[in-house]
Amino acid sequence: MPRTTGGPSNGADDETPVVVDPDTVTDTVAQLLVEVDSVRQAAGETFDLAALARQTELLERAHDVLTTALEDVDPR
């Protein structure tokens, strides 16, 4: 089963390469970005700290998914 989110990397004793499914990573990030846009649209033109905090959380999750996928592919 492909890994798409954070977690422990392969240990020194585990020689099995981690399989990263690019479609799953892309889909996960796309869903998070749709949620970000939805929060933005719901807030409208008003400055909403709760909406901003939610957007930040979602963007951080998207960043984590992408970072983990990159680390799994090339752990340098």
Model confidence over 58-69: pLDDT tens digits? 999 999 999 999
Distance of CA 40 to the CA centre of its chain: 18
From first to last of its 76 residues, what are the pLDDT tens digits of the chain?
344 444 444 554 555 666 788 999 999 999 999 999 999 999 999 999 999 999 999 999 999 999 999 998 887 7
Contact between 68 and 2 (Cβ < 8 Å):
no
DSSP state of 46: S
Mean pLDDT of the chain: 84
The answer to whether the pTM exceeds 0.85 is no
What is the signed CA dihedral for 36, 40, 43, 47, rounded to 10 degrees?
Answer: 110
Q: Where are the domains of the chain?
A: 22-73
pLDDT at 4: 45
